[in-house]
Amino acid sequence: MSNDAKVLADVVKDVHKELRQELNKTGDIESVWVNHCRNIARLKKYASSMHKLASEHWEQLRISNPATSRINWTWSFLQYYFFAGGLEIQRRKSNPHTVRPELILKEPKISVLDVGSCYNPFGEYEELDVLPIDLCPALGSVYHCDFLKIPIGEKSILDGQNVLSLATSHFHCIVFSFLLEYFPSSSQRWSCCEKAYMLLVEEGILIIITPDSKAAHSNTKVMRSWREALAAIGLKRIKYEKLQHAHCMAFRKVSVDTELTREDRELLAPKMYIPQDFHNRSDSDSETKNEVKFTEEELAEGFMYLPMLDE
> Distance between CA 171 and CA 110 in Å, rounded?
8
Is residue 65 in some structural domain? no
DSSP secondary structure, 212-258, as one string: --S-GGGGHHHHHHHHHHHHTTTEEEEEEEE-SSEEEEEEEE---SS
User: How much is the pLDDT for 244?
Assistant: 83
Is residue 158 in some structural domain? yes
User: How much is the pLDDT for 176?
Assistant: 98
User: How much is the pLDDT for 237?
Assistant: 97
Residues 6+ apart with CB under 8 A from 123: 130, 132, 141
Is residue 7 in some structural domain? no
146 known member of a binding site: no
More confident position, 73 or 276: 73
Is residue 66 in some structural domain? no
Of 121-125, 211-215, 229-233, the range with the lowest mean pLDDT is 211-215
Residue 137 pLDDT > 90, yes or no? Answer: yes
Tally of domains within the chain = 1
Would you say 172 and 17 are in contact if contact means Cβ atoms under 8 Å apart? no
Residue 100 — pLDDT band, cuts 50, 70, 90? low
Residue span of the structural domain in which 93 resides: 71-301
129 known member of a binding site: no
User: How much is the pLDDT for 129?
Assistant: 96
Is residue 92 in some structural domain? yes
Is residue 24 in some structural domain? no
Domain CATH number, residue 143? 3.40.50.150
Write down the pTM of the prediction.
0.86
Is residue 51 in some structural domain? no
Would you say 184 and 217 are in contact if contact means Cβ atoms under 8 Å apart? no
Which region, left, alpha or beta, applies to residue 255 given φ > 0 means left and ψ of -120 to 50 means alpha? beta
Is residue 54 in some structural domain? no
Of 90-104, 190-204, 228-242, 268-282, the range with the lowest mean pLDDT is 90-104
DSSP 8-class letter at 111:
E
